[in-house]
Amino acid sequence: MGRLFAFAWEQIMTPFDIARSYIGTTEGPGPENNPAIMEMYGSIGHDWVEHDSVAWCAAFVGHCLEKAGIRSTRKLTARSYLDWGVPVETAESRQGDIGIIPRGRSSWQGHVFFIDRIEGAWVWGLGGNQ
């Protein structure tokens, strides 16, 4: 009998699966930085960010997308995702879709996250820095 060579395929993870692996991630205490958050900035091309206190919701979403092999906006602004993907009505969204909540009048104000579920008027989200 000949030799058998087996290769394990890397398990394909969705961006939402990857996001779940970061549940509990917080900024470092005091002046310290959390290396996981700093890696998120770097993975979307913003390795110049010096502190994890910089709003990191868009870095989190972008990192999870990029890690799953999907190109993100590679921006640090939540609203950059308004022009990304295909818009759907909130009631039609599914787990793993991206939600954006604009705040204020400036383009940099807002929050971006992965939708976990919709229950009536409530949207349950999974995001960084929330």
How many other C-beta atoms lie within 10 A of the C-beta of residue 24?
5
Q: Is the predicted pLDDT of residue 77 greater than 60, yes or no?
A: yes
pLDDT of residue 105: 86
pLDDT 10s digits, 50-64:
999 889 999 999 999
DSSP 7-45: -PPPPP--HHHHHHTTTT--PPSTT---HHHHHHHHHTT
Residue count (the chain):
130
Q: Is the predicted pLDDT of residue 10 greater than 60, yes or no?
A: no
pLDDT 10s digits, 12-28:
899 999 999 999 999 99
% of the chain surpassing 70 pLDDT: 92
What's this model's pTM, rounded to 2 decimal places?
0.88
